């Protein structure tokens, strides 16, 4: 079971297919309306990140998007809150490192860096293609027995993580990925 910040309020292609460079100013003032698709040029990298779908946005703080980088499907996490972007990115990295150390499946980190005068912290993860959120699976269950079995499996996983010293601080159904079932 991998964790990820995924929300089903996807924002797809609000504009034509012209990919404009997203800026810190656009991010910080966007509220919940980020025009997609957009691109982000990474420091010291040959390939820009192309973001086609905004998965989650916390206005003034961070954005999670699906896209591609070097022809690979990715999940990009952009942290841009002026006073806390670096701290939030580091906290995300520490969580990923804890999962990896505990041998808990989690998306592979492909890139860590900053852009636009270090105003935007960027983490790029592989996109897990054969997974869905716990919320998506929960919505499909029709009987109390199916729900009970699902919650039992999730409880065992979270208890195991707790024993390994991992405490989920943003625990909700959209933040847990499960393999297709």
What residues does each domain of the chain span? 2-126, 131-179
pLDDT of the residue at 180: 65
pLDDT of the residue at 24: 86
Query: Which tens digits make up the pLDDT trace of 82-141?
Result: 999 999 999 999 999 999 999 988 899 999 998 877 889 999 999 988 888 899 999 999
d(CA 117, CA 120): 8
Q: Does domain 2-126 have CATH number 3.40.1360.10?
A: no
Q: How far is CA 159 from the centre of its chain?
A: 23
Apex 87 CA angle, 12 and 119, nearest 5: 60
- Averaged pLDDT for residues 13-30: 71
- Averaged pLDDT for residues 149-177: 88
Tokens linked to 64:
């999670």
Is residue 18 very low, low, confident or very high in pLDDT (cuts 50, 70, 90)?
Answer: low
The helix/strand/coil state of 146 is: helix
- Averaged pLDDT for residues 33-60: 89
Q: How many CB atoms within 10 Å of residue 66?
A: 19
Average pLDDT value over all residues in the chain: 85
User: Phi, psi (5° rounding) for residue 11?
Assistant: -115, 110
d(CA 106, CA 96): 7
């Amino acid at each position: 079971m991998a964790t990820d910040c995924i929300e089903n309020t996807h924002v797809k292609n609000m504009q034509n297919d012209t990919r404009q460079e997203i800026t810190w100013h656009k991010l910080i003032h966007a509220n919940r309306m980020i025009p997609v698709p957009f691109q982000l040029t990474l420091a010291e990298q040959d390939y820009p990140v192309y973001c086609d779908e905004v998965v989650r946005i916390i206005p003034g703080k961070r954005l999670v998007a699906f896209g591609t980088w070097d022809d690979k499907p990715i999940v990009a996490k952009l942290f841009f809150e002026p006073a806390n972007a670096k701290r939030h990115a580091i906290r995300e990295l520490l969580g990923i490192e804890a999962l990896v150390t505990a041998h808990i499946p989690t998306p592979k980190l492909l890139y860590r860096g900053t852009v636009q005068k270090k105003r935007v912290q960027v983490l790029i993860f592989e996109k897990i293609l054969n997974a869905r959120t716990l919320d998506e699976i929960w919505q499909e269950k029709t009987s109390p027995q199916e729900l009970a079995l699902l919650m039992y499996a999730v409880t065992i996983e979270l208890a195991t993580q707790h024993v390994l010293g991992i405490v989920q601080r943003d625990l909700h159904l959209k933040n847990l990925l499960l393999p297709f079932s």
